[in-house]
A and B are shown apart, each in its own frame.
Chain A
């Protein structure tokens, strides 16, 4: 079934498009098998803790496009993240030698009377205000629970503004309640850009799209070897660059959970090839990824050359560090595909990965290419993960899983979870920069940081002695997936 339909203003949510689930208790091989069969079913929890919503994911992809203004059509509370992303925006500008600027983000500040009498007029006014203050190249409008329930025709407001102002004014449907899977917000942002900004190709360029957050530019050197240029999208891309992403030679992913909607969109609509091998994490992962890239670009011999050099330069250093990780038990908590890549990487570094709590699970991606299943790849290469859970960022489930597994080390990817490792006295590492672990250098980077984390044990041990614990004794003795029970389709 074609899932990318630009005639629709809203992206189809991940649950419907990909069959994404938020709850699972079992083994890694079970979830891989059920994904292949298409037999995964979600469960409803009887207790839940604060999640995140797709508006945040949509905003993070749209808000740092260089020459835009973003309007959040929402009550003021939905703009809590504005300043956080502005902080990131400023720091990353500095790293990229860009001029100092702030993110131009507006809230329409929906209030009670607007929910009764309508908020379209307010949206129109805010569009004008943003245009006057910023003179952007495009304006994006992100929606909210409140604007969604009032149910106004914001499409026509945006269309009228586009005609009037002569710049694209594009909506992004990301109401918090719309999808149970917050990563749908990424898809919503790409859908917005695909339908409102990207133009059909006029020529082919030697650029390769790297769909990412605001990670470091580790692909420059690799692509240069192939005679290509990395084009990092969407944060820090300009509207003009985004208009032409359809002309690129290929699209790569740093994390399939993030960007396969964009990859599949560019491939299906404009024939831009998508690299569907698992991302370049770990030595073995990097080998596979480079070969896949070489194949798409028709330069397999260069891929082999880089692989040879990478092995010579980095493998001996990594081998040395591996000695120190031997016999250590690791636990992973992360989004989805990135977490699965970390499982692969930790196995390769010599850890025994005893368990994982990942936030959601996509049984398939928009390309429908099974090669992209990072977990399947990890299981095939290094064997099963016996305690594999889809925890939907429920920290209560993570705590119980950690208590049962007693790992020596926790690798986290996402805020809000690391505290629990520390509270239990377990060295815990979170790496913010997604690109930090890419390639051979990335594998070494990770090995060094893990070594450093295991070494710096004094703080963790002291902190855990004094940390508070809000969970009851009853809860701490329950099976972590307790609240996934009942209609536990996906659960053991």
Chain B
């Protein structure tokens, strides 16, 4: 899509600098205008992490760099970044200025790579794509320019998998979600390269990417290019689970999908699933009596203004486990057309009882337009309480419709997030607590 956007909910290609911040002791070096870093961390990012935000090195392009080129300045900033900031991996990312003026970032960075410095470059240019697509390019660049240097043999480590799931900071709950995914997979007997965040092992973990037996992609599209790249490069097969698994049904399905790909001991995996579901449904019983008996109204329809992975994951969970029926789904991640059918198909088959559900799916990153449509559509449900899965932008709309708003997309302004997660069995329970907390807090 290329039209104007009101209420942006993602950022430009340079946004993958936040993925660098999410790698332990990763240092992004921005070859960009002076404001770019700030713009990105204001929409995706709370806190500056190890060396992001105002700590991140930047060439801060000025007029003369645009006229005469900024390679010399870049060289100087890279050289001194090694001296000033203690990092394990440095990644040079280019903004619009360098991309338009045509600085040879590859040549400059290669000089340092030749000295065996842990440095990688990604030629982006903010206008070239968005941070969903650039996240894939960033990961592939790190694999090609850094990880591959340490690649010695084809030998695979039994049970080792690479996971490509939440995009750091674009998924506001990325840290918790990645921790949750790692725990689930570890519990069924796998060794997990989660690569980003608190539970990852930093660059040492990245170096073992080639030794994984296979790769797991969670989501309908982001990550597929990484998995395909690895399939060619290190002959690793991949398995894709096309949305974030939230709650018991989807988490068990996810684990079975992975277990079958990994050829794990079915009995052990089933035993784990049985135990987890048992614990989970004990809690669901409490929830059920509340839901069935609460007299003052709880949500009956859910709209998403969210990315495709979240919209699918939450809709499946809310329909099958809480009885909240999905209304129109507004997908704002600018998902390429070739993946849109997959998302539509998942929505068509959303019911666990194979009941036909006619859910309208709108792919449009112009969320301002989506809000107008949603408001109009909601008139059909004047007798129902509405839940909106959205972002900070939807606060007014929610209050206008007397709807409950759960923020699951950037910008998040009204939530402080540390390691909250919605993935897995635990994440499902957390989602229930959060949703009904929002509902109940509206009663005085």
Contacts and interface: CB of A to CB of B under 8 A. Distances in A.
Interface of A: 46-56, 71, 75-84, 86-87, 90, 100-102, 104-115, 122, 125-126, 129-130, 133, 144-146, 149-150, 176-180, 182, 393, 395-396, 416-417, 419, 468-472, 474-475, 483
A102 B390 CA distance: 15
B38 A50 contact: yes
A115 B99 CA distance: 10
A76 B95 CA distance: 12
B245 interface: no
Contacts of A125: 3-4
Contact of A107 (B8, B30, B60): B8
A55 B80 CA distance: 28
A79 B7 CA distance: 9
Given A51-B58, A107-B5, A176-B35, A470 B413 contact: no
B42 A84 contact: yes
Contacts of B66: 145, 149, 177
Interface stretch (B84-92, B192-200, B216-224, B259-267): B84-92
B343 interface: no
Given A77-B36, A109-B4, 20 more contacts: A49-B58, A50-B56, A51-B34, A53-B38, A56-B35, A77-B12, A77-B39, A78-B36, A79-B39, A79-B43, A82-B8, A82-B43, A101-B396, A102-B393, A102-B396, A130-B6, A145-B33, A176-B35, A470-B25, A475-B85
Nearest to B96: A146
B395 A106 contact: no
A79 B12 CA distance: 9
A150 B66 CA distance: 11
A151 to B, nearest CB: 10
Interface of B: 2-8, 10-15, 25, 27, 30, 33-44, 48, 50-51, 53-63, 65-66, 76-77, 80-81, 83-87, 95-97, 100-101, 125-128, 130, 368, 372, 391-393, 395-396, 399, 410-411, 413-414
Nearest to B66: A177
A50 B54 contact: yes
A49 B80 contact: no
Given A110-B127, A470-B86, A80 B5 contact: no
B127 to A, nearest CB: 4
Query: Which has the most chain A C-beta neighbours within 10 Å: B36, B77, B125?
Result: B36
Q: Which 10 A-B pairs have the closest CB atoms?
A: A77-B12, A53-B35, A50-B37, A176-B33, A80-B39, A83-B411, A47-B80, A416-B54, A51-B34, A80-B43
B127 A75 contact: yes
Contact of A146 (B25, B127, B396): B127
Nearest to B101: A149
A146 to B, nearest CB: 4
Contact of A76 (B11, B56, B62, B97): B11
A117 B194 CA distance: 41
A78 B130 CA distance: 12
Contact of A472 (B4, B83, B393): B83
A114 B127 contact: yes
B62 A180 contact: yes
Contacts of B13: 77
Contacts of A87: 392, 411, 413-414
A195 B327 CA distance: 47
19 contacts: A46-B80, A47-B57, A49-B57, A53-B38, A55-B35, A75-B127, A76-B130, A78-B126, A80-B40, A81-B38, A102-B7, A110-B127, A122-B2, A145-B33, A149-B97, A177-B63, A177-B66, A393-B54, A472-B84
A208 B211 CA distance: 71
A47 B128 contact: no
A178 to B, nearest CB: 6
A50 B126 CA distance: 16
A177 B39 contact: no
Contacts of A472: 83-86
A83 to B, nearest CB: 3
B126 A146 contact: yes
A79 B34 contact: no
Contacts of A395: 54-55
Given A49-B56, A76-B10, A145 B95 contact: yes
